[in-house]
Amino acid sequence: MQQTQQTGQKQTLHPPQQPHMQEDKFKQVANQIRDLETRQKQAADAIISADKELHLFNTIKNEPKNMTVAGVDGGLHLRRFHGADLILTRAAAAIFSIENQKLKKTRYSPELIPQPKPYCLTNALDSEESMISASIHRLREEITTAICVAEKENVELLLLDGSIFPQNADKPRAGSKLNTEYNSLLSLYEKLYKTCEKTNTTLAGIVEDSRGTIFCTTLVEDHAKKLEEKNKATALKLTGNKKTIETSTDTTLLFFAMKKKQYTTPQPYSKDPRKHPVLKDFPKEIPEKIKVSYLKNSEFDRPLRIEFMLNDSKGTGKGKEECIGGNDNNKSGRIKSEQNLMEKIFFLSSSFRTYAYPTVLIEADLRAKLKYEEVEFALNSVIDQARSTSILLELRRDSRPF
């Protein structure tokens, strides 16, 4: 629709822009992107110089030969109707037994292709709360599956697709009808942490596309002062790129600053958990155990954000054989150090040069993802059996005749 401009009694149409004018705007945006990348490369060079004094990066030295690792992922579909919202969700775990750097056996929990679970939201939720409720349902299925694996499978490493905590977007506002569901979800997370500690299973969350800034923030707020005491010239170089560092995400700078097989020195998930909108909802001792690091698995891909919790090795490390495929004895021992953890994640993520992501999570994603045919069959089954004339009317924007 063409825009109009009111002038007294007359309306004038804005003439369409000429192709060359539009081309100039495209070029302007492209130049802006090129300039940003140039500044980020300069900032990365300053970070590399600072690494010599601050030891920001570590290098993986060994390749693990044996491990038993599980990956958990979930699928979600939300369909909004006139009087209710329908949710379909599914969680799946893939479990790899690796011996001599070869995949010996793959098994799944709760089964090879779990059936999706339907839920109906009828609490008169607004659009934002509906999305939050759907996310809580998905996370609940994922964490329940993760607890099952930690309890019943003898895995040394349990990987979650995404963060090790719920995110800000998953938290309802104060006074919301969803607070009971949210608190129940937090209890499940606490149970997962305790179960992993009891069974001596290392828990880690792998964030596929991170926009975190914890590395950049710490670099500017803490490391810059330390660097000034050690090497003023390098400190000056770093502060000269302060604005670029402050306005960049961690992975955009670390893509240029890190080499393959490097990982950042792990740091706390939050400097002040009591002020974090989600961490403050957990007992104090839990956030203190969680650390964050970035791992560069390929020279052609961005670093992975890894959130993890190492155990004190007091757990039993034993599980029952109740997930599909039986259980193998863990011949590689438990993860005892951050270096050991990064070595295992690097091994799992180095299969593809342009998509460096743990293969066990790729497999879990394939099992959890909801296919179009599954979604339509499930929703149509509910609609047909409900026989509702108004509640399940499609939204107007989804049923326009034009």
255-297 tens-digit pLDDT: 999 999 999 999 999 999 999 999 999 999 999 999 999 999 9
Residue 61's Cα: distance from chain center in Å? 26
Residues paired with residue 90 on neighbouring β-strands, in sequence order: 75
* Pairing mode, strands 67-80 and 10-13: unpaired
Determine the pLDDT at residue 281: 96
Whether this prediction's pTM lies above 0.75 is answered by: yes
Give the closest residue to 399 by CA, choosing from 81, 75, 22: 81
- Residue span of the structural domain in which 90 resides: 61-208+267-373
Instruction: Give the DSSP H or E segment for 191.
Output: helix 179-198
Determine the pLDDT at residue 286: 94
Determine the pLDDT at residue 197: 95
Place of tokens 């499930």: 378
346-367 pLDDT, tens per residue? 999 988 888 999 999 999 999 9
pLDDT class of 331 with cuts at 50, 70, 90 = very low
pLDDT class of 9 with cuts at 50, 70, 90 = low
Cβ-based neighbours of 229, under 8 Å, separated by 6 or more: none
Percent of the chain surpassing pLDDT 90? 72
Determine the pLDDT at residue 398: 79
Domain presence at residue 195: yes
Mean pLDDT in residue range 195-220: 95
Mean pLDDT in residue range 228-238: 89
71-128 pLDDT, tens per residue? 999 999 999 888 889 999 999 999 999 999 999 999 999 999 899 999 998 877 888 9
Domain presence at residue 115: yes
Q: How far apart are CA 13 and CA 45, in angstroms?
A: 51
Q: How far apart are CA 176 and CA 170, in angstroms?
A: 12
Domain presence at residue 260: no
Answer whether residue 224 shows pLDDT above 90: no
Domain presence at residue 95: yes
Determine the pLDDT at residue 225: 84
Place of tokens 């659009």: 127
* DSSP SS3 for 370: coil
* DSSP SS3 for 178: coil
Q: What is the mean pLDDT of the chain?
A: 89
Domain presence at residue 33: no
Q: How far apart are CA 274 and CA 175, in angstroms?
A: 20
pLDDT class of 230 with cuts at 50, 70, 90 = confident
Give the closest residue to 138 by CA, choosing from 324, 322, 370, 378: 370
Place of tokens 């996310």: 135
Output 275-279 pairs: Cβ under 8 A, ≥24 positions apart: 277/168, 277/171, 278/165, 278/166, 278/167, 278/168, 278/170, 278/171, 279/165
Domain presence at residue 398: no
- Between 309-313, 331-335, 344-348, 373-377, the lowest mean confidence (pLDDT) is in 331-335
pLDDT class of 64 with cuts at 50, 70, 90 = very high
Q: Which amino acid is it at 70?
A: A
State the virtual CA torsion across 70, 183, 320, 345 in degrees, nearest 10.
Answer: 20
For the domain that residue 357 is a member of, what is the CATH number? Answer: 3.30.2170
22-48 pLDDT, tens per residue? 788 899 999 999 999 999 999 999 999
Domain presence at residue 352: yes
Domain presence at residue 402: no
Determine the pLDDT at residue 332: 45
Determine the pLDDT at residue 327: 42
- Between 75-89, 136-150, 186-200, the lowest mean confidence (pLDDT) is in 75-89
Crossing angle of helices 359-368/338-349, nearest 10°? 60
Answer whether residue 12 shows pLDDT above 80: no
Quick one: tokens of 165?
Answer: 């905590």
Domain count, the chain: 1
Contact criterion met (CB below 8 Å) for 345 and 244: no
Mean pLDDT in residue range 249-254: 96
Determine the pLDDT at residue 389: 74
